[in-house]
Amino acid sequence: MSLILFLVLFIVLWLLIEILSIVMKMTGLEIGKARFQIISILTHTGFTSRESELIVQHPVRRRIASILMIISYVAQVTLITLLFNVLSNASGNAVNIALALGGMLLFVVLATKSKYLSSRFTRFTEKLLKNKIKKANEKDRIDQILNLSPDFGIYEIIVDPDSFICGKTLRELHLKEHFIQILKIDRGMDVLDFPTADTEVCAGDRMIAYGRIDALTKMIIG
């Protein structure tokens, strides 16, 4: 019974890693990097301060990390306890247990490496969660830092992958015509102070912008 529970919990955790990796991908984080961050949180191995900024500076990713920290403690204790029970009762069944554990690991590796299964699972998950992630991004993607006057202010903007500004250069957005100046773009591993007109806006960018409040809001809402 302990072996079955261990296998089920392990598969659930693996699915959780894959689903949350896709969720983070939908916020603009590269899928391989997203998977690494989630595994790091679950195993408490940690990562550099620059890498952690990719998580803590984005509201959706930050909420995911907070939930994972709680889950990880419970999951680790449960897995260790179940594995201890399995091994302590392994007399006479060592071969079967080894085959079950080996088969589970092989299944996880093959399923993760399979491009067909991975793409189908990714499409299904994105279709299922797209509206919820979009609403979460819309709610948190613009935040006022400083209100300088009734018409002008400094805002922090998080670029949504579906935003019309994503993939365009600052020049193409004609920001100066709308009285907007981008002061900084923070990409976690790369920080651009006073970015040039040829700088391309990427999904997940955290931008500090000064300008007319109505123009900034329109730029984000589209």
Q: What angle do CA 140, 177, 175 make, to 5 degrees?
A: 35
Q: Please state which of the ranges 117-121, 165-169, 181-185 shows the lowest mean pLDDT.
A: 117-121
Average pLDDT estimate for 52-80: 77
Examine the domain organization and report whether 11 and 66 are in the same domain.
yes
Examine the domain organization and report whether 79 and 171 are in the same domain.
no
Find all residues with CB under 8 Å of 179, minimum gap 6, and list them.
Answer: 152, 211, 212, 215
More confident residue, 216 or 91: 216
More confident residue, 195 or 138: 195
Residues 71-111 pLDDT 10s: 887 887 887 887 778 777 766 677 777 787 788 888 888 88
Residue 216 pLDDT > 60: yes
pLDDT of residue 52: 66
Examine the domain organization and report whether 13 and 120 are in the same domain.
yes
Return the structure tokens found at 91.
Answer: 């007399």
Residue 221 pLDDT > 60: no
Per DSSP, what are the bridge partners of residue 169? 200
Rounded CA-CA distance 14/142 in Å is 33
Average pLDDT estimate for 47-56: 62
Which domain range does residue 55 map to?
2-137
Return the structure tokens found at 2.
Answer: 């302990």
pLDDT of residue 170: 92
Examine the domain organization and report whether 187 and 92 are in the same domain.
no
pLDDT of residue 51: 62
The closest of 182, 203, 210 to 194, measured between CA atoms, is 182
Contact 39, 17 (CB under 8 A): yes
> Which is it for the CA torsion 213, 178, 171, 160, positive or negative?
positive
Contact 189, 50 (CB under 8 A): yes
Task: Among 100, 117, 137, give the residue marking a domain's end.
Answer: 137
Examine the domain organization and report whether 93 and 167 are in the same domain.
no
pLDDT of residue 95: 72
Residues 112-166 pLDDT 10s: 788 888 888 888 887 777 766 666 555 555 666 777 788 888 988 888 777 788 8
Average pLDDT estimate for 11-40: 82
Q: Please state which of the ranges 39-43, 56-60, 101-105, 133-137 shows the lowest mean pLDDT.
A: 133-137
Examine the domain organization and report whether 21 and 131 are in the same domain.
yes
Average of per-residue pLDDT values in the chain: 79
Task: Among 137, 156, 172, give the residue marking a domain's end.
Answer: 137
Average pLDDT estimate for 52-59: 68
More confident residue, 145 or 7: 7
> What's the number of domains the chain is made of?
2
CATH number, position 160: 3.30.70.1450
pLDDT of residue 138: 53
Residue 34 pLDDT > 90: no
Calculated CA dihedral for residues 21, 25, 29, 32, nearest 10 degrees:
50
Per DSSP, what are the bridge partners of residue 154? 146, 210
Task: Among 105, 137, 169, give the residue marking a domain's end.
Answer: 137
Rounded CA-CA distance 58/151 in Å is 26
Examine the domain organization and report whether 29 and 118 are in the same domain.
yes
pLDDT of residue 136: 57
Model confidence band, residue 195 (pLDDT cutoffs 50, 70, 90): very high
